[in-house]
């Protein structure tokens, strides 16, 4: 059996199987995943650094955490008795004017007082008295929860 001179079987040309070479319509997820992992690591490292400015050794209690809707104003009292609003040091006569300028809702704003556990209790009471005499009635002490 001889093949005809124009037939496909013996001509040496073969058809390609599969799809034609064209645009790839799949999204390469590898760069996207790499970027997301880098962002995750950045936020994991940055999150502990976003705590309220002044480092203190807070006393521990068994009190439950408060459920609050908005971030309160936080005053910090270091072991030496210095008072801080965020990271700026305040004198006693500057506390109420600065609280009034920061408070969004006026005297109804919640004010947290963070006092180092080695600071004199009288100093904490004095700062709380200054805040309440300035018209702020929602003043609370901040402690750490007892790990037991």
Residue-by-residue pLDDT tens, the chain, 148 positions: 555 555 555 555 555 565 566 777 888 888 899 999 999 999 888 877 666 566 666 667 766 665 555 677 888 899 888 999 888 888 889 888 888 888 877 777 888 888 888 888 888 889 989 988 888 888 888 877 766 6
- DSSP 8-state symbol, 21: S
- pTM for the model stands at 0.54
Query: Which CATH code for domain 72-145?
Result: 3.30.420.270
Cα–Cα nearest to 109, from 91, 83, 85: 85
CA angle at residue 120 from 131 to 111, to 5 degrees?
25
Cα–Cα distance between 66 and 64 in angstroms, integer?
7
- Give me the DSSP letters along 71-128: PPEEEEE-TTS-EEETTEEE-GGGHHHHHHHH-SSGGGS-EEEEE-TTS-HHHHHHHH
Give the model's pLDDT for residue 64. Answer: 62
Spatial distance between the Cα atoms of 91 and 65, rounded to a whole number of angstroms: 30
The pLDDT, as a whole number, for residue 66 is 58
Residue 117 Cα distances to 14, 40, 81, 84, angstroms: 85, 34, 11, 16
What are the domain boundaries of the chain? Answer: 72-145
């Amino acid at each position: 059996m001889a093949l005809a001179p124009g037939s496909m079987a013996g001509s040496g040309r073969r058809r390609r199987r599969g799809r034609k070479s064209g645009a790839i319509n799949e999204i390469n997820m590898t760069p996207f995943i790499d970027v997301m992992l880098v962002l995750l690591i950045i936020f994991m490292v940055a999150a502990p650094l976003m705590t309220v400015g002044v480092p203190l050794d807070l006393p521990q209690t068994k009190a439950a955490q408060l459920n609050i809707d908005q971030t309160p104003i936080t005053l910090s009292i270091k072991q030496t008795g210095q008072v801080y609003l965020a990271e700026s040091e305040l004198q006693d006569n500057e506390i109420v004017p600065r609280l009034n300028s920061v408070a969004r809702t006026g005297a109804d704003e919640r004010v947290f007082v963070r006092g180092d556990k080695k600071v004199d209790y009288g100093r904490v009471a004095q700062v709380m008295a200054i805040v309440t005499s300035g018209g702020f009635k929602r003043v609370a002490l901040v402690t750490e929860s007892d790990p037991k």
